[in-house]
Amino acid sequence: MDLKSLAQKLDRDLSISAQLKPFGRTDQLVLEVRAADLLKTAAWVRSEESARMDFLENFSCYEFRSKLVFSYFLRSQVHGKTLILRTEETVPENERLPIPSVAAVWPMVQPFEDEIHELFGIDFTPNRGRYAAATAFPLRKTYVWESEVMQ
Amino acid sequence: MRFSEERLSTRLSRLSLGPIHPQLPAPMRLALDVDGERIVQAQVETGFLHKGLEKTYENRHWFASLIPTDRLDPEGSIFAEMAFCQAVEEICNIQVPRRAQMIRLVLSELNRLSCHLSYVARVAQSVGFETTSHYVLRERELILDLFELMTGARFNLNFLRFGGVAADITEGFIERIFEVCRLIQIRIKEYHALMIDNQAFVSRLSWLGTITSDDVYTYGITGPNARASGSMADIRKMHPYSGYDLMNFTVPQGQGTAGTLGDSFDRLKVRLDEIQESLHILTHAAESIPPGDYSCIRVGYDFTVPAGECFSRVESARGFLGCHVVSSGEFAPVRVQWRTP
């Protein structure tokens, strides 16, 4: 599966323009879409015959240069290939951020979403009954962990 | 005297266990609906042991980051060290010497043996086979002795370094590996006689706690628990690392021979089969450790990682262990995220 042709097909089928970015110094590319297009893209790469990304290996989030970066590490059990789907959002200061949940596409994402919900203050929609009480988000860069002194 | 149906209540009983309980392997809360001795439904609540590990990394030098890595899973610490080192080495473009790769592989397989033997001992204990449990722990002790001989530690090994390992093979280590492998090979036959061929043991595990292939998919289960349910996924085959591509081994799968596919018996059987595969790998790897350096760089507190990111994959004893490392080129990681089994 060629990621460039996959991105072109995504544009043709759903009119979603995805960007291809390098992942670290590996040969692998990242398929980056807007958060608003995330759910549609996820469902598409799950069902599209040339991709068939049916297994979510990992879902991670990190904050870098005032952006929250969400990475979905996917695997096709049919083709044996991997794909990284990514979306970015600007970090709202001390506020929760809504992001579409992909649990309907990959049910195994739920524990990852639960953790990111609590530690980054992300509200995955639709809400699965997660309780959003916290006002401080430990894994955001603005959070200061008093007991940990930088060496 | 006859009782009416109303007076003979058949409601399920609710049994609440944990979060702290001596029979639980880790802090967790279990809300069990039981019908006599049968568990009809279970609700599991985890997360009572959140260590703040991922935040800890953000305040640590790269070199010091290896220390909390061990705490991810103290029983299988080498796997986390391996995943973290591989991710950092990929970002830094460090080529690990072949000798160091083989030492890592040997330690990984020893750790897999130790974890699987612990599992077997726990299962034996939980079904009332105390003696068998002690036999198995006796053999695990030999593995821990090997760790001590090689690394100086028995659990939190902290032995891998960026670019290799902390020290070269100690005198007598390879010979002891062959000796222990031969011994465990004999003991495995005894375990089979005590457990797999013992109807009293088998009947306590077959048809119990079945994980279907749908469950494997829905919950993202990996490792021996998934393989017991028919999955073939093994990172050592899918993304070979640290010399696994040179090893000849098979990936055992559940067969459902005693009950149904994916039951507790299959999970035990797959682990016993994996122990045998690990013994083959260990013997082969110990024979083929090449001469050369055990590390290609000396890493200290001034070590920094160039800007970049990597997601490394390792097959731990419990399943797929992933590590996503992000660096901005500064003294500490931007993010170290773990995908635990």
Kindly give the confidence (pLDDT) of every residue in chain B, 341 residues in length, as a single tens digit, with 9 standing for 90 and above: 555 556 666 788 999 998 988 877 788 999 999 988 888 899 988 878 888 899 999 988 999 999 999 999 889 999 999 999 999 999 999 999 999 999 999 999 999 999 999 999 999 998 999 999 999 999 999 999 999 999 999 999 999 999 999 999 999 999 999 999 999 999 999 999 999 999 999 999 999 989 999 999 999 999 999 999 999 999 999 999 999 999 999 999 999 999 999 999 999 999 999 999 999 999 999 999 999 999 999 888 889 999 999 999 999 999 999 999 999 999 999 999 999 98
With CB atoms and an 8 Å threshold, state whether A55 touches B217.
yes
- How far is residue A89's CA from residue A83's CA, in Å, rounded to a whole number? 20
With CB atoms and an 8 Å threshold, state whether A58 touches B217.
no
Q: Is B43 on the interface with A (CB under 8 A)?
A: no
Query: CA nearest B57: which of B44, B46, B45, B71?
Result: B71
Q: Is B48 on the interface with A (CB under 8 A)?
A: no
Nearest-by-Cβ selection for B218 from A24, A60, A108: A108
With CB atoms and an 8 Å threshold, state whether B91 touches A23.
no
A71 neighbourhood in chain B, CB within 8 Å: 311, 324
Return all residues near A34 (Cβ < 8 A) that are at least 6 apart: A87
Residue with tokens 């490792």: B223
pLDDT of residue B244: 96
Q: Is A58 on the interface with B (CB under 8 A)?
A: yes
pLDDT of residue A149: 54
pLDDT of residue B11: 82
Kindly report the nearest CA distance between residue A86 and chain B, in angstroms.
13
**In a 3-state reduction of DSSP, which class is residue B322?**
strand
Q: Is B310 on the interface with A (CB under 8 A)?
A: yes
- How far is residue A29's CA from residue B264's CA, in Å, rounded to a whole number? 40
Asked if residues A102 and A109 have their Cβ atoms less than 8 Å apart, the reply is: yes
pLDDT of residue B48: 84
Q: Is B237 on the interface with A (CB under 8 A)?
A: no
| Tokens describing residue B242 | 């640290």
Q: Is A53 on the interface with B (CB under 8 A)?
A: no
* pLDDT tens by residue, chain A, 151 residues: 688 888 899 999 988 888 899 898 877 889 999 999 999 999 999 999 989 999 999 999 999 998 999 999 999 999 889 999 999 999 888 788 999 999 999 999 999 999 999 899 999 988 776 666 667 888 998 887 776 655 4
With CB atoms and an 8 Å threshold, state whether A62 touches B90.
no
Query: CA nearest B328: which of A137, A64, A138?
Result: A64
- In A3-42, the residues whose Cβ lies within 8 Å of chain B are 23-26
- How far is residue A123's CA from residue A119's CA, in Å, rounded to a whole number? 11
Domains detected in chain A:
3-150 (3.30.460.80)
Q: Is A144 on the interface with B (CB under 8 A)?
A: no
A60-78 residues labelled b (16+ CB within 10 A) or e (exposed): bbbbbeeebbbbbbbbbee
Nearest-by-Cβ selection for B328 from A24, A64, A77: A64
pLDDT of residue B51: 83
pLDDT of residue B7: 65
Helix axes B77-92 and B98-126, enclosed angle (nearest 10): 150
With CB atoms and an 8 Å threshold, state whether B220 touches A56.
yes
Kindly report the nearest CA distance between residue A25 and chain B, in angstroms.
7
Query: CA nearest B320: which of B224, B252, B255?
Result: B224
Query: CA nearest A48: which of A105, A92, A94, A118?
Result: A105
B59 neighbourhood in chain A, CB within 8 Å: 145, 148-151
H or E stretch at B90: helix B77-92
DSSP string across B128-182 = T-HHHHHHHHHHHHHHHHHHHHHHS-SSS---EETTEESSPPPTTHHHHHHHHHH
Cα angle B137, B142, B146; round to 5: 140
With CB atoms and an 8 Å threshold, state whether A148 touches B61.
no
Amino acid of residue A1? M
With CB atoms and an 8 Å threshold, state whether A62 touches B337.
yes
Asked if residues B13 and B34 have their Cβ atoms less than 8 Å apart, the reply is: yes
CA quadruple B288, B293, B298, B303: dihedral positive or negative? Answer: negative
| Tokens describing residue B109 | 């397989």
- How far is residue B216's CA from residue B222's CA, in Å, rounded to a whole number? 7
With CB atoms and an 8 Å threshold, state whether B310 touches A138.
no
Cα angle B315, B321, B325; round to 5: 125
B338 neighbourhood in chain A, CB within 8 Å: none
With CB atoms and an 8 Å threshold, state whether B91 touches A24.
yes
Residue with tokens 């096709």: A76
